[in-house]
Amino acid sequence: MGLGPKMLALYRQLKIMGLLEGVTDVIELGSQVVRSPERGPVDALFEAFGRPPLSETEMAPFLGADPPGNAPSRLLHERLGFRYDCIDIDGQFGALALDLNFDAVPEERRGRYGLVTNFGTSEHVFNQQNAFTVIHDLAGVGGLMLHAVPFTVHLEHGFFNYQPNVFTALAQYNSYDLLGMWVGLDWRLSSLVPWEPQLLDHLHFYAGTTHTLFVLLRKTSDAGFCVPLQGVYQAMIAAASARRYELPIRAETPQPQPASKSHSAGGQQQARADVGSVERDAFIARIQELEANLEVNLARIREVEAKHQKTLQSIYNSSSWRMTAPAREFVTWVRHLFRESGNRSVRSE
């Protein structure tokens, strides 16, 4: 997908808002290129970062329409002052050669990055769990995870398009802060529209539509990646299945005592485990309660149905029901006659 005007504008806004303060290391999924139809978005970005404007020669690689310009994203990030890495199976632009379908993050790169970007890469990866685990493991605590992924149509672009609830579920189950969610309408425009469901009533769709979903998350815990469960099904699953899912950790962990480093880390891990265990047990207990209530309600419904069926059967078997059958048939015939008469009157008018 690459970095177009929308992403350049979003970077600029994040810098102005102070969200990129302290971020020194950036890693991208995919060895991206930068493309902008004009120099304005690039100039504005460099100004926000306090960098001198580029000369015409320096700017030329960043400019291009479709097909995109040929400047690697590494060049942009390093000129903005970041230490830059990227992951791609082909190793292009000095990328770390990892297969996102299978490979885990090398130990020396876990929790190392203040910004992890997914600009149109994960939709090409069949193993979504591994792709999002890699993103989670690359980010340090407090690090940002920025996604720009296909939202509507993108016909035959990748394996997947993404719904907003994917990212709200990721945030819920992994204690991420959801800092923003926007829709990009056209890659050539630098504007983004804050996401809300009513927005769909105003979007136009055709085979070439390429609406993009932008999502900014912040990692708040060094706990391992948790596979999310879609919210609409949370109250429906059996307790045995619920145990497979970890719950978010939002309680404050006790401050470590001024002891050895290993003792402090162990205390934090135990506190997180204790909080997670309590919340998980409460969730499972709630599901068991709902299951029990459901069984009670179903039993009541079956009891009422049986009672009504018995009442109806007794009516059908009664002599009065059989004796009144001719009268009921006559009433039905009269109703039909008047209905047909009324229909003829309407047609004649």
Which whole-number Å values give the CA distances from 57 to 35, 49, 73, in the listed order?
15, 20, 17
Domain edges within the chain: 5-228, 320-348
Higher pLDDT, 279 or 236: 236
pTM of the model: 0.68
In degrees, rounded to 5, the angle at the alpha carbon of residue 310 between the alpha carbons of residues 308 and 315 is 95
Cα dihedral 41, 47, 52, 56, rounded to 10, equals: 20
- Give me the percent of the chain exceeding a pLDDT of 70: 78
pLDDT at residue 259 in the model? 36
**What pairing do the DSSP bridges indicate for beta strands 25-29 and 83-87?**
parallel
Beta-strand ranges (E) seen in 24-98 are 25-29, 33-34, 71-72, 83-87
Evaluate if residue 107 carries a pLDDT over 60: yes
Report yes or no: 192 and 183 within 8 Å, Cβ to Cβ: yes
Evaluate if residue 116 carries a pLDDT over 90: yes
**Across 88-96, average pLDDT:** 81
8-state DSSP, 53: P
Whole-angstrom distance, CA of residue 280 vs CA of residue 240: 12
* CATH entry 3.40.50.150 includes domain 5-228: yes
8-state DSSP, 241: H
pLDDT at residue 117 in the model? 94
pLDDT tens across 284-297, in order? 766 777 777 777 77
pLDDT at residue 167 in the model? 94
Evaluate if residue 30 carries a pLDDT over 60: yes
Q: What is the mean pLDDT of the chain?
A: 79
Evaluate if residue 263 carries a pLDDT over 60: no
Evaluate if residue 145 carries a pLDDT over 80: yes
Task: Count H helices and E strands in the chain, helices first.
Answer: 10, 9
pLDDT tens across 196-252, in order? 888 777 777 666 667 889 999 999 999 999 998 887 777 777 776 777 776 655 544
State which H helix or E strand residue 119 sits in. Answer: strand 113-119
